[in-house]
Structure formats: structure tokens, C-alpha cells
Amino acid sequence: MTTDTIGGVWVYSMHLCQYLSKFGTEVILLSFGGNPSSDQLDEVQAIENLKYYPTTYKLEWMENPWEDVEKAHIYVKQLCELHKPDVIHLSNFMDLENILTPIVNVYHSCVLSWWESVKGNPAPEEWLRYKELVQASLKNADIVVGPTQSILKSARELYGNDFHGICIPNATDYNYPEEDKQEFILCAGRIWDDAKNLKLLETIAPKLSYPVVVAGSNEHPNNGEKLNIENVIFLGRLPQKELLKWMSKSAIFFSPVLYEPFGLTILEAARSRCALVISNIDTLKENWSHAAIFFDPRIPVQALEALNKLIANSRYRQHLGKVAYNRSNKFSSEKSTRTYLDIYKKLNKVNQLLKLNL
């Protein structure tokens, strides 16, 4: 199984590995994108039946990645020769055309769909090589998994129909502590990440009676410049357990994203009984229709009105938190893992039959 140490894909991988371990499945986990943090290493070490191979190889969407991408391909093949896995589970994109092991490729996100959602136009030609890699990765996979039907539809529009895709939503069964809610609004993400759209807070936060707490950095990754906003508290990047503590206390979770293929952080906020105020993009409406307040993320006044509506009405706020929690029970890690295991077993059975006929 491949993962990265950057963000949501790591959280997804940890949830899945924990449950695969409970079902007695051995996982060989390979990470890209940078060295794991001490908290991430602690998470890995707590999972039985897991062998971990961290690397610093760049991911395919990073700047000048291609030498590392080639090295990563070679390393995956070496690990396959060493461990002889029944299935390869990719959480990134790799051209593994000449490998006989069945492949499940999870389409978590991609640059081209990000670009269209955030920039409003197709990605420039400099991303052509990236596009070709993604097309090859999807084509070579036996199964392509998308966390929502909406993102699978986007994948087909961008890369063609030459793959078999199914939807398996991201999930969590973590028992979140139920605490008395406090009067603040929680967001998660880096202020400079255009997809997170948190610069919207510059317009609306000073007009809110609740303070806004952001689990994420306000420091620019290139020049170190810090953006400070009135009525906004930046916590910096938090370990997962610390983020969940803040969620358990927050009355409202606010997500003005322009692009979000699933929204695992939103699911975690719902599990924490936060009232949800989120963007009206297709992927989020697919999961949270009638369980959240939606707004157009490009119209700040809509976000302001939605938040003020909840701030002014504690009964409605508590009701919406309960509705979100009830909806979150639909996204079970155990159910999701059983679906993956069923796919793994079917692919392995077909692969064994093919080997007998060779």
C-alpha cells in the first residue's frame, strides 16, 4: 500500500490499515512526499501486521518530480519481489504496466480536477506529462476507487472511460469524546492553500461574534510571510489527536473549500457533533445533503449569513450537530474495510486462475 505523509491521504491510510490489521491482513506500507513526523511514526508503530517503508521520494504533483517518480516505481517493484503481495493498493499514481500483481488505484484527487475547480480553467500544458501518468495509472489498475461518485465522474471527464471505477467513501469509526460545545468556529487547512479558500476569512471573520480558530498554518511556505486576520486564531499544523480535541469542543465547523474530493476532516467534525457550514460543491452535497448548511464559496456574504444563522440560534445549532453526527454513522471504517477486503479477495482469486492458465 502506498501513502504520503502530507495530509489527508495519510489519515485515510491509517484508518484503513488499523482495520485491515484487525481482520488479520498484513500490510506493507510505503510512504512518499517526505519524512514522517514523530506522531506519524507513533501511529504506524501502534498497528500490528504492518511493515513500514518511509521514503522522501517526491509525489508526482510536486516540482520537478520525475527522477523521484522513476525511483519510486523501481522501489515498488523491488518490494513486490521481496514480499510478493496479493494486491497492490495505490494512493498515488504510478505506471506499473508490466507488473502481474492486481492493482487497486484510489483516485483521492488530482492536479487537473483541482485546477478546474480552483482556477476555473484547464491545467496548462506543463501538466501534460502528469496527465499521461495518471491516465496510465488508471488504465493499468484492475479497480479504480473514488471516495465519491462526483470525483469519479470528474476522473472520467478528464482521463477517459478506460478504467473500471467504483465508489468507496472514506470512513472513520473513531469514538470521539463528547464535550460541552464552546462558542467558536473551527476551520482546518493552510491559509495559503487556494483550494481551502480560507482567505475568505479576511472578509467575514471580523464581522462574526464568535472567534474563528484555524487548525493550520498562516505562514507562507516559500517566503515565511505570516498572514494575520482580525478575530482569527491560527493554531499551526496539529497532530491528528489534537485536532480531534478541538473538534470535540467546537460548536461549528466551517469549510469554504473550492475543491474537496471527499472531505475526511468534515466527516471527523460531524463525528464530533459540530454543526457543519460547508461549500455547495458536488462532492460535499453528495455526502451531506440535509445534514449541513451549504453556501457558495465564492460569495462571502452567503458564508457570513450561514454562520450568523447558527450563532444566533443555539437550539438549531445543536440540532444540526446531531443531524451531522447521525449522517456520519453512514461512513463506517469497518464497512469500508470489508468492501476493500472483498475486492482484494476477488482480484487475488482471478489472478491465481490466470497464473494457472499461463
Q: What is the DSSP string of 174-223?
A: --------EEEEEEES-TT-TTTTGGGHHHHGGG-SS-EEEES--B-TTT
Q: Is the pLDDT of residue 356 over 60?
A: no
Q: Is the pLDDT of residue 84 over 90?
A: yes
So what's the pLDDT on residue 223?
78
User: Could you tell me which residues come within 8 angstroms of residue 18 by beta carbon, excluding any fewer than 6 positions away?
Assistant: 47, 333
Residue pair 87/101 in contact (Cβ under 8 Å)? The answer is yes
Domain boundaries for CATH 3.40.50.2000 within the chain: 2-172+332-357, 182-328
Tell me the one-letter amino acid at 128: L
For residue 145, list its beta bridge partners.
106, 166
So what's the pLDDT on residue 222?
72
- Taking the CB of residue 23, how many other CB atoms lie within 10 A of it? 12
Mean pLDDT of 337-354: 87
What is the rounded CA–CA span in Å between residue 131 and residue 89?
A: 20
Helices (H), the chain: 8-22, 38-45, 66-83, 111-119, 128-140, 149-159, 201-204, 240-249, 264-271, 282-288, 300-311, 314-328, 333-357
Give tens-digit pLDDT for 230-270. Answer: 999 999 989 888 999 999 999 999 999 999 999 999 999 99
What is the rounded CA–CA span in Å between residue 110 and residue 122?
A: 12
- Between 53 and 352, the more confident residue is 53
Q: Is the pLDDT of residue 355 over 70?
A: no
pLDDT grade, residue 354 (50/70/90)? low
For the 182-328 domain, the top CATH level (class) is alpha beta
Tell me the one-letter amino acid at 152: L
So what's the pLDDT on residue 179?
79
Cell 504492518 sits on residue = 50
Of the options 3.90.1640.10, 3.40.50.2000, 3.30.565.10, 3.90.650.10, the CATH number for the domain spanning 2-172+332-357: 3.40.50.2000
What is the rounded CA–CA span in Å between residue 213 and residue 7?
A: 19
Share of the chain above pLDDT 90, in %: 87
Mean pLDDT of 166-177: 86
Give tens-digit pLDDT for 125-161. Answer: 999 999 999 999 999 999 999 999 999 999 999 999 9
Q: Is the pLDDT of residue 214 over 80?
A: yes
- Between 312 and 358, the more confident residue is 312
Range in 23-32, 57-66, 76-85, 170-179 the model is least confident about: 170-179
pLDDT grade, residue 122 (50/70/90)? very high
What is the rounded CA–CA span in Å between residue 134 and residue 159?
A: 8
Q: Is the pLDDT of residue 352 over 90?
A: no
Give tens-digit pLDDT for 96-115. Answer: 988 889 999 999 999 999 99
So what's the pLDDT on residue 357?
55
pLDDT averaged over the chain? 94
So what's the pLDDT on residue 328?
96
Mean pLDDT of 70-77: 96
Q: Is the pLDDT of residue 212 over 60?
A: yes
pLDDT grade, residue 49 (50/70/90)? very high
Q: Is the pLDDT of residue 351 over 80?
A: no
So what's the pLDDT on residue 178?
76
pLDDT grade, residue 219 (50/70/90)? confident
Q: Is the pLDDT of residue 220 over 80?
A: no
- Between 353 and 48, the more confident residue is 48
Q: Is the pLDDT of residue 22 over 70?
A: yes
Mean pLDDT of 40-68: 97
